[in-house]
Structure 1
Amino acid sequence: MSDMIAPYPGLPDPDRNAEFYADIPVKRAIAWVVDALIVFLLTLLVLPFTAFTGLFFYPFLWLVVSFVYRVLTISGGSATLGMRLMSVELRTWRGERFGLGDAFMHTLLYSLCLSFLIPQLISMGMMLTTARAQGLHDLALGTAAINRGRW
């Protein structure tokens, strides 16, 4: 199995260091719910600044707020606030923390996967079955979510 995961030299080997990937799918799911609640609260804070016209384009407002939230939090600490709560962080294929460019690309691909049912289902299935618990967007970028504090 190690031959299949060799393209990511900076990430921990899931066979030898399974603790880095322990419970990652569950932690990511909980973090996703926390982040969705935070984005909801942020959209409520933004609504008065749109003179409440944001109610007419609320799904678009949600997408913009969510995108900015994810890029800023991931680039600032390699994890969203929900991920930090769950002690999870994202790493590049080199094993480095995310910068602004990495966070932007990860969020863009995540948003595209989330926008369509089939890619989202494939991504969720991959998180449950791949050695590094990578979603479709993670696999495309060579990134992985790992347990923080073990690195």
Structure 2
Amino acid sequence: MQLADPITQPQFYRDVASKRFFAWVIDVIIVALISLLIVPFTAFVAAFFFLGLMGVVGFMYRVITLATGSATWGMRMMAIEIRDQHGARLDLGQAFLHTVGYMVSWTVAPLQLISIVLMATSNRGQGLTDVVLGTAAINRKA
């Protein structure tokens, strides 16, 4: 088993890049809300390093949701999921590596720019982390 071919089975990749963007927006909102809920439990100290808290919460959120369903909650709402090079769902190790790649891309701006360009122009809508790991986002209903 392997990833669907974007030429013979384009339904798996149709509109994936735009769905990934909207899923990302949803995920940022979810992570921000979870982070806001945590702040009072730190005696509001976390308010002073809120972006760092969001980074930690976001990392854990992505690893857990990708490992348990191969999609974040935002991706699930947009009906997409990440599959590995064999077309299988991500396991914990792959979810961890995918999240590390995602976070590195966000901390190094040129890498994020390359990732966005790849998502918008590649047949499979793969970002930089996807290309490196051999993963791809696909439509769940396809």
Q: So what's the TM-score if we normalise by structure 1?
A: 0.92
* 3-state SS in 1 of match to 2:137: strand
Give the match for residue 118 of structure 1: 110
Deviations 1:1-58 (CA, angstroms, capped at 9, x unpaired):
xxxxxxxx61000000011000000000000000000001000111111111001111
2:107 aligned with 1:80, yes or no? no
Structure 2 unmatched ranges of 5 or more? none
Deviates more, 1:51-60 or 1:88-97: 51-60
Show the counterpart of 1:100: 92
Q: How does 1:132-143 map to 2 (within 5 A)?
A: 132-143=124-135
Give the equivalent residue in structure 1 for 2:17.
25
Corresponding residue for residue 50 of structure 2: 58
Partner of residue 11 from structure 1, selected from 3, 10, 13: 3
Percentage of pairs with the same residue: 49
Matched with 1:37 is 29
- 1-structure distance, mates of 2:86, 2:42: 41
Aligned length: 142
Q: Which residue of structure 1 lines up, in the alignment, with residue 141 of structure 2? A: 149
Alignment partner of 1:89 is 2:81:
yes
Report the 3-state secondary structure (helix = DSSP H, G, I; strand = E; otherwise coil) of the residue aligned with 1:16: coil
Q: Secondary structure at the match of 2:41?
A: helix
Unaligned runs of 5+ in 1: 1-8
Counterpart AA for 1:67: F
* AA at the equivalent of 2:7: D
User: How far apart, in 2, do the equivalents of 1:139 and 1:45 lie?
Assistant: 35
Secondary structure at the residue paired with 2:14?
A: coil
Scaled by the length of structure 2, the TM-score of the pair is 0.98
